[in-house]
Amino acid sequence: MLDDDHPMTAETIPAAARPSGIKGPRRPLFRRRSAIPGFGLTLGVTLTVLSLIVLIPLSAVAIKASSLSPSQFLAAAFSERAVAAYRLTFGAAFVAAVINGVFGVLTTWALVRYEFPGKAVVNALVDLPFALPTAVAGISLATLYAPNGWVGQYLTPLGIKAAYNPVGVTIALIFIGLPFVVRTLEPVMRDLSADVEEAAASLGAGRFATIGRIILPALGPAWLTGFALAFARGVGEYGSVIFIAGNMPYKSEIAPLLIIIQLEQFEYANAAAIALVMLAVSFLMLLVINAIQAWSRRFV
C-alpha cells in the first residue's frame, strides 16, 4: 500500500510521465556479463569459419541425397550390399569397443594404480594410435596378420583367418579405439578418492566387493563414454581397415569403402545416401555420449 506522504521514487514514476528523451534501460539481446573486448570479432570469425568449413559442406550430403526419390534413396542406402557393409562396420566396431572396454580398464588401472618398470613408455605408447597415420597402421597390421605374417603364421594352423576377413577389420579397430577408452577413464580413475575405498573396507567389504560395488560403478559413466567414442571412431575408420579387410563385397567391405566405390563410379547421389546413414549414426552417438555425461553429473 502506498503511504500518502511516501516520496515518489524514480521507479514509481509512470513511463508516460518521464521526459521523452530518457529511455529506460533496455535489456540487450546478448547479456554482456564480461567486460573483455573482442567478443563480436571472435564469435563472428568462429561462426563464419565453422559454417564455411563444416556446416555448409556437411549439408551438401543431405541436399545431394534428397535429389533421389524415396525409393531410389532406399535402394542406394539400404541395398543388400550396403546393409552387409553396415553390419560388418557396426559389428566390428562394437566387438572392438567391447574388447577395448575390457583391456582399457585393465590398462588404465595398471597405469593409475601400479608402479612397474617402463610405465612411462607404456603411458606414452597408449597414444600411438592418435599419432600414427592410419595407413601405416593398416599396412603393418595387414602384413602381421597375413597368412605368412609374424602373427598370421601361428593363427593359420589353428584355422583362424585373420587378415582379409571380418576378424582383420576388428583387429584394426581395436588398434584405433584403445586410447579413447584409456584416456576417458584415466582422469576419473585418478580422481577416485582413497577415502571411499577405505570406507568400503572399514565397513567389511573385501577387495573384490570394493572393486565390484564401489569402483566399477563409479567408473561406469566414463567407461560408457569411452566405449561410445571408440565405437563411433571405429564406425567411420577407413585407412587402417582397408588394407587388412580384403574388401570383398558382402563379406569384408566396410561402409566408408562403399562410399568411395560409389564415388569412383560417379554415383554421387548414392554415395551421399550412404554417407547420410553414417552421419545419422554419428549424430546419434553424439547424443548418446552427451546424454551419458549429463546423467553422470547427477551424482557429482
Partner 1 sequence: MAAPSRAHARHPTDDPLWAKVVVIGLVLAFLGLVLILPLAAVFAEALRKGLGPAIAAVSTPDAWAAIKLTLITAGIAVPFNAVFGLCAAWAIAKHDFPGKPLLITLIDLPFSVSPVVAGLIYVLVFGLQGWFGERLIDHDIKIIFAIPGIVLATIFVTFPFIARELIPLMQEQGVSEEEAAVSMGASGLYTFWRVTAPNVRWGLLYGVLLCNARAMGEFGAVSVVSGHIRGLTNTMPLHVEILYNEYDFVSAFAVAALLCLLAIVTLVLKSALEIAQPDVKRGGGH
Partner 2 sequence: MTISIRSVEKKFGRYPALNHVDLEIADGELVALLGPSGSGKTTLLRTIAGLEFPDAGQVLFEGEDVTFASAAARRVGFVFQQYALFKHMTVARNIAFGLDVRKGKDKPPKAEIARRVDELLKLVELDGLGKRYPSQLSGGQRQRVALSRALAVQPSVLLLDEPFGALDATVRKSLRKELRRVHDATGVTTIFVTHDQEEALGLADRVAILNAGRIEQIGTPDEVHDNPATPFVCGFVGEANRFEGTVSGGRFTSGAVSFAANGARDGAAVGFVRPHDFALDDGGFEVRVDRVHVQGALASASAVTADGRHIEISGSRAEAARFTGTIKVAARKSHVYPT
Among 66, 72, 123, 156, the residue binding partner 1 under the rule CB under 8 A is 123
Least distance CB 293 / partner 2 (angstroms): 15
Residues whose CB falls within 8 Å of the CB of residue 252, separated by 6 or more in sequence, listed in order:
88, 164, 165, 166, 168, 169, 245, 246
Q: Of 23 and 298, which CB lies nearer to partner 2 in the complex structure?
A: 298
* Cα distance between residue 167 and residue 186, in whole Å: 28
Among 185, 222, 271, 292, the residue binding partner 1 under the rule CB under 8 A is 271
Taking CB under 8 A as the rule, does residue 34 contact partner 1?
yes
Locate 94 and state its grid cell: 562394437
- Measured from the Cβ of residue 41, the count of other Cβ atoms closer than 10 Å reads 9
Among 134, 156, 247, 296, the residue binding partner 1 under the rule CB under 8 A is 134
Among 132, 155, 220, 296, the residue binding partner 1 under the rule CB under 8 A is 132
**Residue 60 has what DSSP assignment?**
H
Mark the segment that binds partner 1 (CB under 8 A) among 1-9, 13-21, 202-210, 216-224: 202-210
Q: Of 28 and 159, which CB lies nearer to partner 1 in the complex structure?
A: 28
**3-state class of 114 per DSSP?**
coil
Closest Cα partner for 270 from 58, 90, 82? 82
In Å, what is the CA distance from 270 to each residue of 34, 60, 61, 83? Answer: 48, 13, 10, 14
Taking CB under 8 A as the rule, does residue 272 contact partner 1?
yes
Binding residues for partner 2 (CB under 8 A): 193, 195-196, 198-206, 209, 213-214, 217-218, 220, 298-300
Residues whose CB falls within 8 Å of the CB of residue 165, separated by 6 or more in sequence, listed in order:
246, 252
Q: Of 148 and 193, which CB lies nearer to partner 2 in the complex structure?
A: 193
CA angle 275, 279, 282 (to 5 degrees): 140
Closest Cα partner for 189 from 107, 128, 115? 107
Taking CB under 8 A as the rule, does residue 58 contact partner 1?
yes
Closest Cα partner for 89 from 270, 275, 265? 275
Least distance CB 250 / partner 1 (angstroms): 19
234 binds, among partner 2, partner 1, none (CB under 5 to 8 A by kind): none
Among 97, 107, 168, 221, the residue binding partner 1 under the rule CB under 8 A is 107
Least distance CB 220 / partner 1 (angstroms): 19
Among 12, 13, 18, 60, the residue binding partner 1 under the rule CB under 8 A is 60
